Structures are given as structure tokens and as C-alpha cells.
């Protein structure tokens, strides 16, 4: 052994060829934490001092190559001043450069995932051979950052400006064949031939058949294109990237700017530009929010992993109701490998459920995501039925019949009588108390809520709702089933609206008050969309369905009358009373028409203004800051109350639920991180400013206490 560290080792194989292996001890994957970078530096020094080594292959001792930087180290590091962050990048780059400058042929043998710093390490080698199983990419922009270990420098010099911009600004993860096509990989080989192929390539270099020095030299020099052509290439790319990323995501544009600035420079100068640019984006609120989001996502997965540990296998599921939700649940369950019985009371409903599943599968086939045989397999895993035969072999049953307490209770009680003890029953109700539904059951411990969002195949969140008598095993089974379906479960306690709707409806309450006071719904929609929401509140109400929204608002008002019972007629109610239910019947706040291509188009309908006129103040202009405050405070304070009332277990879970469930702008990190970004004390003062509007604007006690103690939700 030439070198043995905790993360990296170097040993001599045959014929003067050495193997530098990444194998971070005590971890299941390799990642570039500070320890690994330092270890790599020592390994390179050991190679420099060893004249027996004539060539090098770089390998991994894990199932992945290197998954990227250790993001848990970012939070503290990004609190440092900009110049210190840039200094950290340059220090790490010294190690990468020392590796690159070793005057021997070096081939990275990429066996699996190599992302971010993992791929940047490979770029510092002279050649990259990928297993056909490898996946590579530079996903830093997804964290509000851009590559800081030389990615913006080496990538354009290796694969050209256009390709480098695409890889870096979009942050995608690419298969080995795609990497070969653009030149990120020099060869792709069968997984079991990887090491032999890497050694063979080193040998060819040593025999003088391939000029590895020339290959390396390209990465050390300025970009090859003449300055004018470079400028043109960057300008075209910049316009495209700006259009795609939008103002709320500055990192992709900053990455292109760094590449452009450094185009005429040699490697070491270019790395300085990269380090400075990296430090700048690392200090943006977007990076703080997106890094926080990544960590919150990991935390939620850990909590769920612990909850679902040791649950029995879920081999067969059932769903009651083949409607919009039941059909969606059946499709998703079958797609992800759990066969499902779909029971309804009407043949027509079953046919509709099956044809919807078939349509979704055909789309996947046309996109090349599935073949005809795969489609047949998924379809045959959904068994439509009108009776309860075979229900005694089912592990989990999700009820998704009409939203009516009496009907649901009778369907659930009937089903309970057909299944074995321990079979988990769940309801997909949006508004009915789980504890109340459980009153109709003999075994309430086997029952919980499992709240999917529409459309089921698209929406990542599932709320698992614990009723008063729900057992831990039942919760665990539903968490495991949601995970098996490829969803992100969040466990919450029962209350009106559960977590997501309880937090969403005060936001609609804020919208109602703004309208009452004379705001224009189109102006509010525009401001909130610019704030980062996929759509504004009026449009969202149209998409959810105004009838559904009005019903849910009534449930919330009964549940929390002190805050959510309003003393004015809400504009949504006005729409509802005029049979304007939104997209589902073609008219709500907006009108929905088909364009020439047959696509639904949202258009302004002047009737809306006429209908609401008697119920609202004269039209008045509100500035964006006030609209944002009046919309966001109710949502944020209600999220705090859910934490205060133990409806949700942690700040991370609360924020993730809003992002997965209703598309809270990811770059703002979730309602609680949004409060942090304003500052808890400043947010309490903002609440005080608007408290005269009603209870949904009052700062919860928890927030006041945190402000007094100088605390925040996240470190």
C-alpha cells in the first residue's frame, strides 16, 4: 500500500500502474467532505514521491463513484465571509490541480453515480471511462450554486461552450451514453469490464499510442474558439439560460457569466474567477433556502425510514372508488409494483378508471419511458371489481369514495367486516376528521388517513394522518406504502384540514380580505406568481375547484371559528353561488377556452368584476409588498400554529409538506424558512402591523417566544 487514508487509498497494481481508490470509511457512499479533499491531497503527494508509479486508475470501493460534495458542511461554511468561501474553493482546487498535474496518464473508472464534485474529480483526470450503469452530472444549480471544484473551467474546455452551458445551467443527471456523445466520457464499457478497460487505456498511453499530455493541455489553456465566436456562443446561451431560469434563480446565469469571463484565461486564473463567483452565489438567499431544502428533505427521509422500519411487506393493495383519486391511486400503486384491486359500485366508473390508467401509460410509452410489455404488466396489476372477493389477502386498503361522512363510515365499516384483523384501512378524505370516521369501526387502531393530492401521479406529497386511536403499526405501514408508491409521506396528527389545507386556507382567507378591500384578483395573481408560486390564488382556486374550495373553507371555519370564520361574503362564495366552479365547468375567476390547438387557455372574463362588485370596496391599487405580506402572513402563522399544536413533528417536515403539496416556491425554502429569512422578530412586527385585519394575522405565542429568545426555526 502506497497510501492509506480514511477516504482514499493508493496501491500499486501490475506494470507500474497504481489504483487510487475512494472508499470513505463509515459511510455507505463516497462524498467530497473536507476530510476526503485533504486525504486526496495526501494521496497525490504520495504518488508524486513514488517513481515506481507510471500510470494511474481512479476507482471507487462503493456502489457509487462519488455522489458529490458533503452538503451538510455547506450551512456553516456559507456563513463565512465571501473571500473565505472563495479561499476554501481555491484550497480544494489546489488538490485537484496537483492531481491533474501529475505527469502520468490518469484514467477515472466511473462505476456509478458521479455528481458535482464527484464528476469534477473525473474531469481533472486525463480520461474518463464510464460503466454503462454510470450516471454523471453537475447538479449544483439545483442548490442555488454552481460548480466550485473546477467544473466551469474544465467542462467548456473539454466539451465546448454550448454543451457545457447545457450541463451546468440545467443541472441534469445524464446516462453514460449521453456523456459519451458530448465527450464527457471517452468510452463506455460493460460494468464488469470497467477496471480492465481503464488499465488498458493507461497502457496505451504508456506505449505512446495516445498522447495524454496533449489531452490534458487543452484543459490548462484558454478556450479554443476565437474571442468573437466565443462571445457569440456565450450571448446565445445567456439569453436561453436567463429565459429558462427566471429572475428567482440567479445561479445558472452566474455560472455562464463565470465561464464567459474566464474564457480567455488559463486554468489557474479561470479557477479564481470560478471561486469568486461560487462564493457570491453561496451567499444568496436562494442558495441558503435550497441547501436548507435539501437538508430538510434528507431529514424527512430519515424520519420516514425510522417510522417504516420493520414493517411487513405490502404485496397487495386495494382502493375503494375508481374516480379521479381512486383511479390515480390504482395507477400509481400498480406502476410502482404493488398490485391493486380497484372496487367501485358502478361498472361505468371502473371502465373510466381503467381507461384513465391506460391513457397515462400510453403517454409513458410514447415518451419512451415504458415499453408495450411494461404497459401490459402495469394494467394487469390493476384488478377492477364490483365485489369484495379476495379482500382477505390485502395488506392495505385506501378508501376514495365520495366526500360524505355517512357514506364513508358505512363503506369503511362494511370493508372492515370483509378483511382480517391487522389489515390497514385508510381514508383519502380531504376534510372529514379521521377520529370521527374511526367511530364507525371495530378496530380503529388499524385505521388512519392517507391524503393524496390531485393528480396523484404528479403530486409528490402524501399526508399520513394519525387519528386518536391509530396505532404506530398502521402509521408505519402507510408510510411504507406511500414510499413504495414513490411518494414523500409526511405524518401529521388529525385536525381540520390536516396540515396542508389548514395552512392553505388562511392564505385564501388573506386573498378574500384583499379582494374585499378593493384589490384586483389579476393583480394579486401576478404579484404572487412573481413571488415564486406556480400560479396566483385566484387561478389556484379555479384549478382546485371553487365548489371544493368553498366546502373546505366552511370546514375550516367550523374548526377554527376564532380565526377562519369571516364576517364578510368572500368572493369565492360569490363565484360558487353563480355556478362558477373554475376549470372543471369552464368558468371561475377566469374563463377557460380551447385555443386553436385544442389546449385549454385562461382568459379574462369581465363578468367576474360585475359579479363581485356589490361585495367589495372600490378598486384600489395595492403595492406588491403589501399584497405579499397580506397573502403570506396567514399561511406562515398557521404553519407555526401547526408546529405549536403538534400537528406536524418538525419544522423540516412542515416546510417540505408545503413544497411537495402545494408548490410553495422552493427557492424560499418553505413557510418557516421564509419567516427565518425575514427574521423572527421582524416577522412578529409584520404580524402586529396587520393584526387589525383578524386572527389569521396575529403572531402565535410560539413565534413571540422565539423572537424574545432570539431563536430561529433552522440553524
Residues that bind ligand NAD (CB under 6 A): 320-326, 343-346, 349, 400-403, 407, 411, 428-430, 452, 454
Cell of 88: 476554501
- Identify the H or E element spanning 230: helix 227-245
Considering the complex, state which of residue 407 and residue 604 has its C-beta at the smaller distance from ligand NAD.
Answer: 407
- 40 vs 329, beta carbon nearer ligand NAD: 329
Catalytic option among 174, 451, 551, 615: 451
How near is the Cβ of 324 to ligand NAD at its closest, in Å? 4
User: Which CB, 344 or 655, lies closer to ligand NAD?
Assistant: 344
Whole-angstrom distance, CA of residue 431 vs CA of residue 558: 11
Residues, the chain:
715
Nearer to ligand NAD, 411 or 448 (CB): 411
Cβ at position 339, least distance to ligand NAD in Å: 19
Nearer to ligand NAD, 399 or 676 (CB): 399
Q: Where are the alpha helices (DSSP H) in 417-450?
A: 434-438
Minimum gap (Å) between residue 636 Cβ and ligand NAD = 24
Query: Residue 384 or 669: which CB sits closer to ligand NAD?
Result: 384
State the CB neighbour count (10 A cutoff) for residue 386: 12
- Concerning whether 451 is annotated as a catalytic residue, the answer is yes
User: CA dist 614 to 509, 610, 710, Å?
Assistant: 19, 8, 46
324-335 and 372-380 helices cross at what angle (nearest 10)?
A: 120
Residue among 184 and 400 whose Cβ is closer to ligand NAD = 400
Shortest-Cβ-distance residue relative to ligand NAD:
323
**Least gap, CB of 397 to ligand NAD (angstroms):** 11
In whole angstroms, give the CA distance from residue 542 to residue 580.
Answer: 9
Nearest to 20 by CA among 29, 46, 28: 46
Shortest distance, position 443 Cβ to ligand NAD, whole Å? 19
What separation in angstroms does the CA of 124 have from each of 175, 215, 479, 529?
Answer: 20, 11, 42, 42
Nearer to ligand NAD, 461 or 635 (CB): 461
DSSP element (H, E) containing 130: strand 127-131
Give me the torsion for CA of 520, 525, 530, 534, rounded to 10°.
180
Which CB atom, from 195 or from 454, has the smaller least distance to ligand NAD?
Answer: 454
Please count the other Cβ atoms lying within 10 Å of the Cβ belonging to residue 619: 11
Q: Is the peptide bond before 673 cis (omega within 30 degrees of 0)?
A: no
CA distance 646 to 103: 61
DSSP run (H or E) holding 121: helix 117-124
| Chain centre distance of CA 244 | 18
| Cell 441547501 sits on residue | 291
Running DSSP on this structure, what letter comes out for residue 567?
Answer: S
**Number of other CB atoms surrounding residue 105 within 10 Å:** 25
Minimum distance from residue 493 beta carbon to ligand NAD (Å): 18
Minimum distance of ligand NAD from residue 451's CB (angstroms): 6
Element (H, E) at 444: none
CA–CA distances in Å: residue 102 to residues 43, 105, 130, 562, 609: 12, 8, 22, 71, 72
Between 198 and 411, CB nearer to ligand NAD: 411
Which C-beta is closer to ligand NAD: that of 194 or that of 411?
A: 411
- Alpha helices by DSSP H, 460-499: 472-484
Is 637 exposed, middle or buried (CB count within 10 Å of its CB: 0-12, 13-18, 19+)? buried
| Residue 571 beta carbon to ligand NAD: minimum distance, rounded to whole angstroms | 21
Q: Give the SS3 label for residue 259.
A: helix
Nearer residue to ligand NAD within complex by CB, 428 or 435: 428
- Strand pairing class (113-115; 17-22): unpaired
C-alpha cell at 25: 470509511
Query: Taking the CA of residue 706 as centre, how many other CA atoms within 13 Å lie in the half-sphere pointing to its CB?
Result: 22
**Would you list the DSSP string of 79-91?**
TS-HHHHHHHHHH
CA–CA distance from 584 to each of 402, 559, 579 (Å)? Answer: 17, 27, 11
**Cα–Cα distance measured from residue 473 to residue 480, given in angstroms and rounded to the nearest whole number:** 10
Give the span between the Cα atoms of 267 and 152, in whole angstroms: 10
CB of 671 to ligand NAD, least distance (A): 21
Q: Cβ 346 to ligand NAD, closest distance in Å?
A: 5
Name the nearest CA neighbour of 328 among 483, 453, 501. Answer: 453
- The phi and psi torsions of 518 (rounded to 5 degrees) equal 105, 10
Active site residues: 451
Amino acid at each position: 500500500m502506497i497510501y492509506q487514508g480514511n477516504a482514499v487509498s493508493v496501491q500499486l497494481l501490475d506494470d507500474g500502474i497504481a489504483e487510487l481508490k475512494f472508499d470513505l470509511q463509515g459511510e455507505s457512499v463516497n462524498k467530497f467532505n473536507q476530510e476526503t479533499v485533504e486525504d486526496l491531497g495526501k494521496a497525490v503527494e504520495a504518488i508524486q514521491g513514488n517513481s515506481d508509479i507510471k500510470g494511474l486508475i481512479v476507482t471507487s470501493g462503493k456502489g457509487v463513484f462519488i455522489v458529490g460534495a458533503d452538503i451538510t458542511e455547506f450551512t456553516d461554511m456559507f456563513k463565512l465571509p465571501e473571500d473565505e468561501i472563495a479561499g476554501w474553493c481555491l484550497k480544494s482546487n489546489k488538490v485537484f490541480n496537483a492531481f491533474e498535474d501529475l505527469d502520468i496518464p490518469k484514467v477515472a473508472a466511473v462505476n456509478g453515480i458521479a455528481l458535482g464534485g464527484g464528476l469534477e474529480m473525473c474531469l481533472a483526470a486525463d480520461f474518463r471511462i464510464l460503466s454503462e450503469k454510470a450516471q454523471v452530472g453537475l447538479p449544483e444549480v439545483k442548490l442555488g450554486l454552481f460548480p466550485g471544484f473546477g467544473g466551469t473551467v474544465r467542462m467548456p474546455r473539454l466539451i465546448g461552450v454550448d454543451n457545457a452551458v447545457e450541463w451546468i445551467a440545467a443541472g441534469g443527471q445524464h446516462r453514460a451514453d449521453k456523456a459519451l456523445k458530448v465527450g464527457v466520457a471517452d468510452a463506455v464499457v460493460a460494468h464488469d469490464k470497467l477496471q480492465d478497460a481503464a488499465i488498458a487505456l493507461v497502457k496505451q498511453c504508456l506505449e505512446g499510442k495516445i498522447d495524454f499530455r496533449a489531452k490534458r493541455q487543452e484543459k490548462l489553456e484558454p478556450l479554443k474558439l476565437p474571442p468573437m465566436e466565443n462571445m457569440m456562443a456565450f450571448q446565445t446561451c445567456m439569453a436561453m439560460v436567463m429565459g429558462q431560469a427566471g429572475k428567482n434563480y440567479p445561479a445558472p446565469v452566474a455560472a455562464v457569466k463565470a465561464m464567459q469571463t474566464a474564457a480567455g484565461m488559463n486554468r489557474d486564473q479561470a479557477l479564481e474567477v470560478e471561486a469568486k463567483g461560487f462564493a457570491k452565489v453561496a451567499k444568496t438567499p436562494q442558495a441558503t433556502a435550497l441547501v436548507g431544502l435539501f437538508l430538510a428533505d434528507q431529514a424527512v427521509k430519515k424520519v420516514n425510514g425510522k417510522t417504516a422500519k420493520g414493517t411487513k411487506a405490502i404485496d397487495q393493495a386495494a382502493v375503494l372508488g375508481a374516480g379521479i383519486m381512486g383511479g390515480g391511486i390504482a395507477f400509481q400503486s400498480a406502476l410502482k409494483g404493488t398490485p391493486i384491486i380497484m372496487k367501485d359500485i358502478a361498472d361505468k366508473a371502473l371502465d373510466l378508471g381503467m381507461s384513465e390508467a391506460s391513457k397515462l401509460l400510453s403517454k409513458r410509452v410514447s415518451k419512451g419511458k415504458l415499453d408495450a410489455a411494461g404497459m401490459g404488466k402495469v394494467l394487469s396489476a390493476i384488478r377492477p371489481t364490483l365485489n369484495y372477493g379476495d379482500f382477505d389477502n390485502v395488506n392495505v386498503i385506501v378508501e376514495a369514495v365520495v366526500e360524505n361522512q355517512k357514506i364513508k363510515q358505512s363503506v369503511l365499516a362494511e370493508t372492515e367486516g370483509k378483511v382480517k384483523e391487522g389489515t390497514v384501512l385508510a381514508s383519502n378524505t380531504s376534510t372529514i376528521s379521521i377520529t370521527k370516521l374511526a367511530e364507525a369501526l371495530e378496530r380503529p387502531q388499524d385505521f388512519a388517513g392517507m391524503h393524496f393530492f390531485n393528480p396523484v401521479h404528479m403530486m409528490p406529497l402524501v399526508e399520513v394522518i394519525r387519528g386518536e386511536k391509530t396505532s404506530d403499526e398502521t402509521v408505519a405501514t402507510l408510510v411504507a406504502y406511500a414510499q413504495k408508491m414513490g411518494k414523500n409521506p409526511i405524518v401529521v396528527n388529525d385536525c381540520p384540514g390536516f396540515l396542508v389545507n389548514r395552512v392553505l386556507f388562511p392564505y385564501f382567507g388573506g386573498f378574500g380580505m384583499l379582494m374585499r378591500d378593493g384589490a384586483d384578483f389579476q393583480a394579486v395573481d401576478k404579484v404572487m406568481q412573481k413571488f415564486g408560486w406556480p400560479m396566483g390564488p385566484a387561478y389556484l382556486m379555479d384549478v382546485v375547484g371553487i365548489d371544493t374550495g368553498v366546502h373546505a373553507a366552511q370546514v375550516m371555519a367550523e374548526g377554527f371559528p376564532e380565526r377562519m370564520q369571516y364576517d364578510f361574503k368572500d368572493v369565492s362564495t360569490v363565484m360558487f353561488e353563480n355556478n362558477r366552479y373554475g376549470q372543471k365547468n369552464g368558468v371561475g375567476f377566469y374563463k377557460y377556452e380551447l385555443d386553436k390547438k385544442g389546449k385549454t387557455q385562461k382568459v379574462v372574463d369581465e363578468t367576474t368584476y360585475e359579479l363581485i362588485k356589490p361585495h367589495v370596496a372600490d378598486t384600489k391599487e395595492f403595492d406588491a409588498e403589501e399584497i405579499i405580506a397580506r397573502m403570506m402572513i396567514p399561511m406562515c402563522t398557521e404553519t407555526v400554529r401547526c408546529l405549536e399544536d403538534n400537528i406536524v413533528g418538525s419544522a423540516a417536515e412542515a416546510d417540505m409538506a408545503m413544497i411537495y403539496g402545494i408548490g410553495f416556491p422552493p427557492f424560499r425554502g418553505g413557510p418557516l424558512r421564509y419567516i427565518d429569512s425575514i427574521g423572527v422578530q421582524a416577522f412578529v412586527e409584520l404580524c402586529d402591523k396587520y393584526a387589525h385585519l383578524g386572527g389569521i394575522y396575529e403572531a402565535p405565542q410560539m413565534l413571540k417566544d422565539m423572537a424574545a429568545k432570539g431563536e430561529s426555526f433552522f440553524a
